[in-house]
Amino acid sequence: MEVKLNMKNKSFIILLITVVFMIGVAGVGFSSHEEEKGVVKGTITETKIVEIELTVRDDKGKESKVVTKDAAAFKLGDRVVIKDGKVTKEVKPIAGGY
């Protein structure tokens, strides 16, 4: 049983494989940027030393307030992550390449 492919069929198969590959790569890219529930990432916009309360504005402009015992570790403009009521500085991923 021999299958002969002409040039039109070969081009179609290559195009199909390329499109499937591109959709797969795009899917991986979108899935890596999903937001985690209960996690706020943003910039500190206000600190109150008396109450040790931080106001954090996320990238969409929504403000969240959190009380922390370690307010001295943070300053205005720091990028932070709030998860389970705990505040930590945001660690930037290493962007590849030299």
Whether the pLDDT of residue 1 is over 60: the answer is no
Question: Which sequence spans correspond to the domains of the chain?
Answer: 1-34, 39-89
Q: How far apart are CA 19 and CA 27, in angstroms?
A: 12
Q: How far apart are CA 79 and CA 90, in angstroms?
A: 5
Whether the pLDDT of residue 5 is over 70: the answer is no
Q: How far apart are CA 93 and CA 41, in angstroms?
A: 14
Q: What is the pLDDT of residue 87?
A: 79
Q: What is the pTM of this model?
A: 0.44
How does the average pLDDT of the chain come out, rounded? Answer: 76
Provide the 10 A C-beta neighbour count for residue 42.
Answer: 21
Q: What is the pLDDT of residue 34?
A: 56
- For residue range 13-59, list pLDDT tens digits in order: 889 999 998 888 777 766 655 566 777 788 888 776 655 788 888 88
